[in-house]
Amino acid sequence: MELSALILLVVFFALLMLNVPISFCIGLATLATMLLSMDLLPALTTLAQRMAGGLNSFALLAIPFFVLSGLLMGRGGIAKRLIECAMALVGALPGGLALVNVMSCMLFGAISGSAVAATSAIGSFMLPEMKKQGYDTSYSAAVTAAAATTGMLIPPSNIMIVYAIASGGVSIAALFVAGYFPGILLGIALMIVCAGYAKVKGYPTGARLPLKLVAQKVAAAIPSLFMIFLVIGGIISGAFTATEAGAIAVVYSFILAVVVYREVKVSELGNILLKSTETTAIVLALIATSAAMSWILSYENIPQTVSQGLLTLSDNPILILLLINIILLIVGAFMDMTPAVLIFTPIFLPVAVELGMSPLHFGIMMILNLSIGLVSPPVGSVLFVACAIAKVRLEQLLKPLLPMYAAMFVVLMLVTYIPAISEWLPSVFGL
């Protein structure tokens, strides 16, 4: 077991450092580990079978639907209306534009389900506006990157669908509902940091708008926000499944972007479909190779060995959960969320259950933890998108991100050790 784990890690990280695409890193590391116990042809056949089996899930059909609806929303003028809504609600508070940035990312993330899309759509509009008002560009980019992670928790979220499959039975509807409180709590924590930072730096406060204008801006965003109620309300009520909800989200976002707002032309739909296909292919390649790696981990009894090792370290649940969080924070800094969830759920979920944590609670903790990895060097994808939009270097973002990292870690600890934050709302709806 020790040799197989060593081979898996060495091959994976060696390929990662050579800048090989991560799905190939996972697949080749899995193949190398298989070759320890079987010949080449059986290993290749097993790898292909496990990759195909990993994609043989009806729930995965929701991912291309939500990807496509997110792209339609991103190009359909949704971001602009959500920003104006957020500006009307919180723009007059200390550090108004930073708070608007956070709230806009929360709202857009809740609609698109993508941290990268939220960073791109909101950042492209907010960063130039914040620069005009005297905000430091690096700080503005840091705010956008950190706030975009809330979209991983506030549903609909593709990573929750992946976790539901990896955990072997957690309800997608329950995960969707469970993400609301932690996602909102994370957004509030970031807004508190932004308000304090604004006071220290002397950033300007926006003008207070008349109540009538506030109502107009909020009303203009209602058609966009209604998708949240349509999708989540339908899932909770049992009117349709998460997969069917994805298809409904595509139809609704198409009507909104093409017919109502008229921001997307029919001639642009081909490019949008192509982009959604590319994104879906990348995600499914990660899922397929990660499923194969999960199988070889189980075949070599690595999850059981890790579980036993962790439980023999201490009988204190607080320390064990802290150690799991630290490991996942390190993993998140080097690995994309999708393979991380598929690979480490079978390893750590049995430990969490042994400690009395529900699979639902663990899932929210894991997703929040790995969301921090999206804005953590060296691999954080959201971090690089923010750098590209702001035209700043990665190291320039790290200093303004430090207090935001602290806020995100505090929220992670609250979610880890207070189960009600994740579990209360699903229990209200009987999920």
> Bigger pLDDT: 380 or 291?
291
pLDDT category at 405 given cuts 50, 70, 90 is: very high
Measured in whole angstroms, the distance separating CA 276 from the mean position of its chain's CA atoms is 17
280 vs 282: CA distance, rounded Å: 5
> Bigger pLDDT: 399 or 58?
399
pLDDT recorded at residue 419: 93
Task: Say which range, 3-17, 167-181, 199-213, has the weakest mean pLDDT.
Answer: 199-213
232 vs 227: CA distance, rounded Å: 8
pLDDT category at 378 given cuts 50, 70, 90 is: confident
pLDDT recorded at residue 57: 78
329 vs 144: CA distance, rounded Å: 20
Give the global pTM: 0.85
- When pLDDT is averaged across residues 50-63 and rounded to a whole number, the result is 83
pLDDT recorded at residue 314: 76
- Structure-token match 């708008």, residue found: 209
Highest mean pLDDT among 5-14, 48-57, 94-103, 366-375: 366-375
CA-nearest of 126, 129, 95 to 403 is 95
pLDDT category at 95 given cuts 50, 70, 90 is: low
The two three-digit tokens of residue 2, written as one number: 């020790």
Measured in whole angstroms, the distance separating CA 36 from the mean position of its chain's CA atoms is 35
> Bigger pLDDT: 114 or 178?
178
pLDDT digit string, tens, across residues 340-355: 888 888 889 988 888 8
Measured in whole angstroms, the distance separating CA 99 from the mean position of its chain's CA atoms is 20
pLDDT recorded at residue 360: 94
- When pLDDT is averaged across residues 38-56 and rounded to a whole number, the result is 88
Q: 395 and 195 in contact (C-beta within 8 Å)?
A: no
The CB density around residue 379, as the number of other CB atoms within 10 Å, is 16
The two three-digit tokens of residue 243, written as one number: 């997969």
pLDDT recorded at residue 416: 94
- When pLDDT is averaged across residues 84-99 and rounded to a whole number, the result is 75
pLDDT recorded at residue 370: 92
- Structure-token match 């079987």, residue found: 38
**Sign of the dihedral through C-alpha 328, 183, 405, 333:** positive
Task: Say which range, 118-132, 189-203, 261-275, 405-419, has the weakest mean pLDDT.
Answer: 118-132
* Per-residue pLDDT at 1 exceeds 60: no
pLDDT digit string, tens, across residues 114-138: 777 778 777 777 788 778 777 888 8
* Per-residue pLDDT at 164 exceeds 70: yes
pLDDT digit string, tens, across residues 283-330: 888 888 888 888 888 787 777 777 777 777 777 888 999 999 998 988
* Per-residue pLDDT at 47 exceeds 70: yes
Task: Give how far Cα 371 sits from Cα of 63, 165, 332, 427, Å.
Answer: 18, 18, 7, 24
pLDDT digit string, tens, across residues 217-265: 788 888 877 887 888 888 887 788 878 888 888 888 888 888 888 888 8
206 vs 203: CA distance, rounded Å: 10
161 vs 293: CA distance, rounded Å: 19
- When pLDDT is averaged across residues 88-106 and rounded to a whole number, the result is 77
* Per-residue pLDDT at 380 exceeds 80: no
pLDDT recorded at residue 207: 64
pLDDT category at 91 given cuts 50, 70, 90 is: low
* Per-residue pLDDT at 206 exceeds 70: no
